[in-house]
Amino acid sequence: MNQMIIKKCVGKDVFERMNYLLQLSNLALRQPGKDAASSLYSHLLVNVSQKAVQRMEPEVKRSICKRCHTLMIPGINSQIRIRKKRLRWKCNKCSNSKLFKTDPSHKLWIDNKEAIVETLRY
């Protein structure tokens, strides 16, 4: 290893925990009869990120139901349709739906080149 002083990453343990919880929730959903456990883990994930003020990536955030906090995986747990030129995610648990734009020119901030200033490896 180089003898550089490594900067300490802020909130690394929280990110580690959130990542682990997402994996757990994904794992529990694939096994039969554990959807309650899965939604409890993802509920904890949302709560942890809210308490510690460490944000999720938009794609991860969008895959969690806004109402009942279950992880939505299309085909297993949720439905994705295009209705009225808009993308609709429907949660099968609480039947709440989210709408997204389908406009190809619409871009998230994180996809821009200016958004990434520096990448650090820990």
Partner 1 sequence: MTLTSSDFSATSKDSGKVYLFNLLKENLPRRTQSELNTLTDSTFVFTTNARKKGKVVRTKKQFLTRKERKKLNILKLPKQDWKYDELCEMRELWKQYMRNNLNLYPKIPTWEDPNWTNFNITLAKSEFIGAELTVIRSKNVNQVGMRGTVVLETKATFQIVTPKNELKILVKKPSVFTFTLDDMKFTIFGKYAIIRPSERSIKKIKTLLLPDL
Residues that bind partner 1 (CB under 8 A): 13-14, 16-17, 19-21, 23-24, 27, 31, 33, 35-37, 39-41, 43-44, 47-48, 50-52, 66-68, 70, 93-94
Element (DSSP H or E) covering residue 20: helix 12-30
Please give the C-alpha separations between residue 36 and each of 1, 65, 82, 95, 118, in angstroms, as whole numbers. 45, 14, 28, 16, 39
**Least distance from C-beta 54 to partner 1, angstroms?**
9
User: Which residue do the tokens 């895959």 mark?
Assistant: 63
Closer residue to partner 1 in complex, CB, 2/112 = 2
**Least distance from C-beta 112 to partner 1, angstroms?**
28
